């Protein structure tokens, strides 16, 4: 089964907790704290696997969890880092954060993408020893790993997309000009999944052609089988529109041509302006009058037009030469830019609350929603820092610190961030 959309939950590993231990050795008095730090949690990493062509695997597994970091231990031994979890997806998969709808990554290259980063390990009590605090009996917990609900959406990578009504000869053409073996039959909706084929023009020249399931009127609004696959046309550098010139199914080829282009515009207006070449197929079944009338109709609209008989490859080489030449003038296959998730999305969840604990003049704040803001805040940027300050104020956290008696110079700890309080 061809699956091109899936929704999953990913959670990176939690950082290990720091240790509270003290050096114990015979004849050594007051050895001092020696608790090690916790290990960092594992990441969730997406990588492209060209052996995959669908997202079917994600129908059976919806939750993915990376390994947690190990806790620290005595003798300043740090915990082991958690192993990252690698998730393999087909090339062309888009990864979106569900709640905001923002695009996190376009998996169109071989570069891995760390979608959720593991939490940092907590500090052991070794870090908290000072001249006035020689026996710190506390350590830091590891921070939680990032957690997201993401939608995976596959948009195939192809140079040329084949368009047309069902049974006009798209699959036949692809089977003749490439090594692809699509299902071919003399009935509607033979093609029920997109099929890719590599068209080789020479030793170092080739392009990828995609056979998109046949569209019908209303496809752009969700009617028929083809509407599910219109997304795969969006990446194509150009479109090759196949039309049954003979009208062998009792349809008017002119109306077919207009209908398909209208459906493209309904689904995505940019598709209506995409480079398009028209190929009239089944000319052996058409009269001379039908062929001449349709050619004139297409050329009056400014499209290049070529006639073919796909099953016997008549006219296909000339068509391929024109397509290959046109591709050399077009930009590469479209890639989508990643988008930032707005911090306001996390701030809106501040009503879920927070906790403040005080240990030896260290005020520790914990709030899952605040952690997400902290992970996305650039603390070296003045505006970002000011925004974070406003969040602390508007959420009531600063008021809670004041009510707890915080003084100038006391330490505030928010997960792995520490700073001195300044009234």
pLDDT value, residue 202: 84
DSSP string, 330-370: SPPSP-PPP-PPPTHHHHTTGGG--EEEEETTEEEEE-HHH
Q: Rg for the chain (alpha carbons), in Å?
A: 30
* Phi then psi dihedrals of residue 189, to 5 deg: 60, 40
Residue 150 contacts by C-beta under 8 Å, 6 or more apart in sequence?
7, 8, 9, 10, 95, 96, 97, 98, 104, 115
CA separation, residue 74 to residues 32, 36, 122, 125, 390 (Å): 11, 6, 14, 10, 40
The CATH fold of domain 342-423? GMP Synthetase; Chain A, domain 3 (3.30.300)
* Phi then psi dihedrals of residue 169, to 5 deg: 115, 15
Correct CATH for 1-154 of 3.40.30.10, 3.20.20.30, 3.40.50.11720, 2.70.210.12: 2.70.210.12
pLDDT value, residue 218: 44
Question: What stretch of H or E contains 292?
Answer: helix 288-300
To 10 degrees, the CA torsion angle through 376, 379, 383, 385? 100
pLDDT value, residue 223: 41
pLDDT value, residue 9: 97
Per-residue model confidence as pLDDT tens for the chain (423 residues):
457 889 999 999 999 999 999 987 766 566 789 999 999 999 999 999 998 888 988 988 999 999 999 999 998 999 999 999 999 999 999 999 999 999 999 999 999 999 999 999 998 989 888 777 778 888 888 999 999 999 999 988 899 999 888 888 898 999 999 887 755 545 444 445 678 889 999 888 899 998 887 554 443 444 444 456 677 788 899 999 999 999 988 889 999 999 889 888 888 888 888 999 999 999 999 999 999 999 999 999 999 999 999 999 999 999 999 999 999 999 999 899 999 888 888 877 766 789 998 887 789 998 888 888 888 888 888 888 888 888 888 889 999 999 999 988 888 988 878 888 887
Pair of tokens at residue 2: 């061809």
Q: Where are the domains of the chain?
A: 1-154, 160-327, 342-423
pLDDT value, residue 410: 87
Rounded Cα–Cα distance for residues 79 and 21 (Å):
14
Rounded Cα–Cα distance for residues 181 and 90 (Å):
20
Pair of tokens at residue 50: 């060209």
End-to-end CA distance of the chain: 62
The CATH fold of domain 160-327? Rossmann fold (3.40.50)
Rounded Cα–Cα distance for residues 119 and 123 (Å):
12
């Amino acid at each position: 089964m061809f699956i091109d959309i899936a929704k999953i939950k990913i959670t990176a590993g939690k950082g290990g907790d720091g240790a509270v231990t003290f050096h114990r050795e015979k004849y050594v008095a007051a050895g001092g704290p020696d608790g090690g730090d916790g290990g960092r949690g594992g990441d969730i990493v997406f990588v492209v696997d060209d052996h995959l062509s669908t997202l079917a695997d994600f129908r059976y597994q919806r939750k993915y969890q990376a390994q947690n970091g190990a806790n620290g231990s005595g003798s300043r031994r740090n915990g082991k880092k958690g192993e990252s979890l690698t998730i393999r997806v087909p090339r062309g998969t888009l990864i979106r954060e569900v709640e905001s709808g923002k695009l996190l990554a376009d998996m169109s290259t071989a570069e891995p993408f760390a979608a959720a980063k593991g939490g940092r390990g907590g500090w052991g009590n070794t870090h908290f020893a000072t001249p006035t605090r020689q026996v710190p009996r506390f350590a830091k917990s590891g921070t939680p790993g990032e957690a997201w609900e993401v939608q995976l959406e596959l948009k195939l990578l192809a140079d040329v997309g084949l368009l047309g009504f069902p049974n006009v000869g798209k699959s036949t053409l692809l089977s003749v000009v490439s090594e692809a073996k699509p299902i071919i039959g003399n009935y509607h909706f033979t093609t029920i999944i997109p099929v890719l084929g590599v068209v080789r023009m020479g030793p170092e020249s080739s392009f990828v052609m995609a056979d998109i399931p046949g569209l019908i009127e209303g496809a752009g609004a969700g009617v028929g089988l083809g509407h599910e696959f219109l997304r795969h046309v969006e990446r194509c550098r150009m479109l090759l529109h196949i039309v049954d010139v003979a009208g062998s199914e009792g349809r008017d080829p002119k109306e077919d041509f207009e209908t398909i282009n209208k459906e493209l515009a309904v689904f995505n207006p940019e598709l209506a302006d995409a480079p398009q070449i028209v190929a009239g197929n089944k000319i052996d079944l058409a009269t001379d009058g039908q062929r001449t009338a349709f050619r004139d109709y297409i050329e009056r609209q400014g499209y290049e037009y070529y006639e073919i008989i796909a099953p016997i490859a008549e006219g296909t080489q000339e068509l391929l030469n024109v397509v290959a030449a046109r591709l050399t003038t077009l930009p590469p296959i479209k890639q989508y830019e990643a988008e930032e998730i707005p911090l306001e999305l996390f701030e809106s969840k501040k009503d879920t609350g927070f906790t403040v604990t005080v240990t030896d003049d260290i005020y520790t704040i914990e709030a899952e929603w605040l952690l997400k803001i902290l992970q996305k805040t650039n603390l070296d940027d003045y505006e970002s820092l000011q925004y974070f300050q406003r969040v602390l104020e508007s959420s009531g956290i600063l008021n809670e610190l004041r009510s707890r008696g915080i003084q100038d110079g006391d330490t505030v700890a928010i997960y792995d961030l520490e700073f001195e309080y300044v009234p």
